[in-house]
Each structure stands twice: as structure tokens, then as C-alpha cells.
Chains A and B, each alone.
Chain A
Amino acid sequence: MKKNQNVTIKGTKDGLTLHLDDSCSYGELKKELDLKLSESSRAGEDRLISVRVQVGNRYLTEEQQEELKELIRQKKNLIVESISSNVITKEEAEKRREENEIVSVAKMIRSGQVLEVPGDLLLVGDVNPGGTVMAGGNIFIMGALKGIAHAGCHGNKEAVVVASLMKPSQLRISDCINRAPDKDQDDEKREMECAYIDENEQITVDRLQVLMHLRQNITRLQGGS
């Protein structure tokens, strides 16, 4: 017989946590989980119990995760809330790093050109009419934005566009689109402005100082005063 249990169940205020050991084989784990849940299943209760699964240093593929969820779900009143693991693949790590990175580019984005980055974009240069910049995160332009900027292009509604000169032909944030007025008001100075999605799901352009209250997540400085 084994000395240690591979599956331990702990009850917390919010529900159950399943700790699955990471040193045994996956097959073994599944078998034991099945056994454990079968013996402790309280068939009498109809209240749904949410379960959090903690797999330690084990990496689970999508299919394995599905399999475990399926297995746990079969026990009538258990619902898997989350599966958390201490490890991720290198690919995922790389992707996460990219998504959190600020990519700086010193270039003119001319008509017909498209620049896309997975994370935040810091462009030192202009975006000319007909040119497009896209970012998974925020877009900061240290120049004139006269073309199209699409921030949060994978659906991040919190993303913002900041430009030294804000004269875009079109602004897109996540799935919201806003275009320049047909009549060009030349007298307006459009310097140092930002664009964000406001509470009405509309893209609003304002002076960039408002961002420090609206989007505090832009600040990445840790500590300090």
C-alpha cells in the first residue's frame, strides 16, 4: 500500500479544494481521484459544491484538464471552479511576457503600412493617414497620430491610445470604433491627448492627465513614493 495519499480534500469557507499530488503518474492520479470521490460523494445533498483543484507542479494539457473536470463533474453535486497549476509551458510564458511587454519602435508608419504588437506599443514617430498601428494592449505615440490606431485589439476594453498629436482618421479600442468628424476643425489643438472607452461604451478623447485616475493599471512602477 502507498504511504501518502495522492488526493487530499480540504474544506474551506468557499467550498472544497482538491490537492492533487504532482509526483505520481497521471493515470494513477485519475484512478485515485475517481475512488476518493466515489467514497466521499454525498449523494443526499442537492446543494452544488464548487471545487477548486490544485495540481501543484504538474502540467496538465487541455485534454487532461477536461478529463479531470469531467471526472469530478460526474459526482453529482461537484462543480469545478478552477484548476490551478504552478507551472506553465515555455510557450505560454513567452506569450505572457510578450503581452505584458512595451515594445518601442522608432519608425514612420506610412500609408499602407500596418504595425502590430502583442503587448503595449511605444511608437517614436508618426502614423500617417492610411497607416495602421495595432496593439494587444495600450498604444503610446510620441508623434502625430493621423492614421488608424487600434488598442486592445484582442478584446481588452481597458486599453488606451495616447498621442502627442491626436488627429486620427479612426480610433479603435477593443471592438469600439470612433472616427474623426467629417468637418476638420483645424483651430482645435489636439496635443497630448488620450482615448479610452468610457462608462457608456463610447470612445472618449480627453487630455492625457485624466488617465492617472481612470487607468491606474498603466502604472507599473513598484514601490517608490
Chain B
Amino acid sequence: MGEAIVITSGKGGVGKTTTSANVGTALALQGKRVCLVDTDIGLRNLDVVMGLENRIIYDLVDVVEGRCKIHQALVKDKRFDDLLYLLPAAQTSDKSAVKPEQMKKLVDELKQDYDYIVIDCPAGIEQGYKNAVAGADKAIVVTTPEVSAVRDADRIIGLLEKEENVEAPKLIINRIRSHMMKNGDMLDVDEITAHLSIDLIGIVADDDEVIKASNHGEPIALNPNSKASVAYRNIARRILGESVPLQPLDEENKGVFSKIKKFFGVK
């Protein structure tokens, strides 16, 4: 029996889809069977970020309405051998095409076959959000170091805490610009975590490579040399229960940090 993780944020454009794609990919890289579920019906793009758009035949709404079997709708990622699948959202319907109960049934069915179901949640707190959360066991809230994104994250955490079947949510702070944080022009990591008072599961630096990779339909997590990639892989390892220290944000500090870590024998 696998577990379902919903990736949500409240605010749009903070990187839910990118995070879903990369966390899913990173979990698959760790040898887990992963199914990505796009619940952004009507505005799907997880398939684009994963580079699987051309292979979509059936979608989530087709499954829910009984036009096909689940396995027919699942798109296999060829880069992984039978580890990573995507259940795409429909582009032609809207959020009301699916009910939370149907979503829960679907996710429960997927949990039989996969270790992790990563659910990409649409922005907002309406129907789409309710669908995405319905089947989830765990939740990850994505935010950026901006006041508006943090405010919405706070709201969404409040809503998630009311969901009985969802564990206490974890936080990812995305698009960190270390120089702005250092100058105090951006909320810093400690400030955000203290404000939201939930556990931090990862920080991801703002990286041009992420956008580049997304545009090529190739999740950054596949590229081992990028900083963001390491961040996503670390998040996957933390989901699997490993304790991995946070990446140092600063290039300059990096040297010092790694020296200290080497000194103490930490990898």
C-alpha cells in the first residue's frame, strides 16, 4: 500500500507543478514506483513539464466517468523502467467534472500499485483543491519567499489541518535568491518557517536551469549537476525518511560549510 502526497500552495505560480514533477522524478530515481496525478483539470501542464504531452490518450475525467480503465489512462515515462507514470488531467472539462469522493476512490486504487502517488493540486481553495486533497495522506505546501505566497500558504495550511485524513503538512520554500535573502530584501527561511510553524522539508534555490529543463519537458531532477536538482533529490530522500541537512544557500558559505561538514565527517 503506497501513500499519496498532495503538492499544494494556495497561490498560483509558486512552482507546484515543477515541484510535483521533480519530487516524483526524484522518488523514481530512488527506485520507488511513482504515479503523478495532475488534478488541474482544464489547465493541465504537468504533462508538458514531464515531456509526456504527446502520449496522452485518456485522462483523469475519462477514468472517473468510466470511459477507460485506470491503466489505459496512465502515461509511462520511458526514461524510467516501469517506475514513473502520469495520470494527466483533462483539458476539455473543468474542475467540477470530478467530485472529491471519486478522486478518493481513484487514489485509493492507485495506492495498491504504487509506492507514492504525487498529486499536483491546482491554485486556489475551491473545487480543484478539494478534489486534490480528498485522497491524500500527506501534504506538502510550496511557497516562495514573498509575503503574498506565504499568506496563501498560511491559509492553505489552516485548511489542511482541518482535513482528518491528511498528516501535518510539510513546507518547501521555492525560488530562493540567496543574495536577496542575505540583504534582507526577501523573507528568510527561518522567518517563514517560524511564521508558518510547520516542518520544513526542503528549500530550492531560484535556478535558470529549472525553467530551461521544464521547457524541454525534462524535469531538472534528472540533471545531477544542477543545484535545484540536488535540492529536489534531497526532498525525495527526506520523504523516504532519511535525514539530509539543508543545502547551504550561499556560494561563499558553501565552501566553509562543506569544510566544516567534512571536518565532522558529515557527507
- Chain A positions within 8 Å of B, measured between CB atoms, are 108, 110-113, 126, 128-131
Contact = CB atoms under 8 A, between A and B. Distances in A.
A131 B196 CA distance: 12
Given A129-B151, A130-B151, 9 more contacts: A108-B158, A110-B157, A110-B161, A111-B151, A111-B155, A112-B158, A112-B159, A130-B154, A131-B154
Interface string B78-97: 00000000000000000000
A112 B159 CA distance: 9
B152 interface: yes
Q: Interface majority SS on B: helix, strand, loop or mixed?
A: helix
Given A110-B157, A111-B158, A112-B158, A128 B195 contact: yes
B226 interface: no
A129 B151 CA distance: 7
A110 to B, nearest CB: 3
* The 10 residue pairs across chains A and B that have the minimum distance between CB atoms: A110-B158, A111-B155, A111-B154, A112-B155, A110-B154, A113-B158, A128-B154, A111-B151, A108-B197, A110-B157
Contact of B197 (A126, A129, A130, A131): A126
Nearest to B10: A111
A182 to B, nearest CB: 15
Nearest to B152: A111
A126 B198 CA distance: 13
Interface string B152-182: 1011011101000000000000000000000
B169 to A, nearest CB: 11
- Pick from B154, B159, B196 the residue with the most CB of A within 10 Å: B154
A98 B159 CA distance: 28
Contacts of A131: 154, 158
B192 to A, nearest CB: 12
Interface in B142-157: 151-152, 154-155, 157
6 contacts: A111-B152, A112-B158, A126-B197, A128-B154, A129-B151, A130-B154
A111 B196 CA distance: 10
Nearest to A128: B154
Nearest to A129: B151
Contacts of B161: 110
Nearest to A110: B158
Interface string B187-210: 000000001110000000000000
B166 to A, nearest CB: 15
A113 B158 CA distance: 7
Contacts of B152: 111
A72 B155 CA distance: 58
A63 B223 CA distance: 81
A105 B158 CA distance: 15
B50 to A, nearest CB: 32
Contacts of A112: 155, 158-159
Nearest to A126: B197
Nearest to B147: A129
A126 B196 CA distance: 9
